[in-house]
Structure 1
């Protein structure tokens, strides 16, 4: 399943700061259709994603009925991304 969407980088401050892009509701509905096949535990969904010129593997986190895409520092730093920046995400759910 291939998905393309735009969203803002958000920061979650915990013991360490984490950065995410929220997956829009329409795409979350599509992901939920394959979640039982794709998930390997506690609702996380493995994906291959691309932001700008950087491709990376990660897992979507379930949050409030939707999903958050973690954005690693290895993706953010070379592109100068920070909280509030708008990005386009190309993503494939790994089944």
Structure 2
């Protein structure tokens, strides 16, 4: 399953800051339809993602009806991304 969407970089403060892009409602609903085929536990969904020129592997996490795409420093730094920035995301759910 391949998806493209735009979203805002958000920060979650825990013991250390984490950064995510929330997958929009419609795309999250599409992912939920195949979640049972893709998840490896705890609702995490393995994906390949691309933001700008950076491609990376990670897992989406379910949160309050949508999925969150984590953004590690290795993804944020080359693109100069900060909290509040709008990004275009290309996403492939690994089934």
What 5-or-longer segments of structure 1 have no aligned partner?
A: none
- What is the aligned residue count? 95
Per-residue CA deviations over 1:37-90 (Å, capped at 9, x if unaligned) read 000000000000000000000000000111000011001011110000000000
- Quick one: distance in 2 between partners of 1:51 and 1:78? 10
Structure 2, unmatched stretches of 5+, are: none
Task: Flag as ranges the 4+ runs of structure 1 deviating above 4 A.
Answer: none
Q: TM-score, normalised by structure 1?
A: 0.99
**Superposition RMSD on alpha carbons, in Å?**
0.4
**Which residue does the alignment assign to 1:71?**
71
Q: Does the alignment pair 1:20 with 2:11? A: no
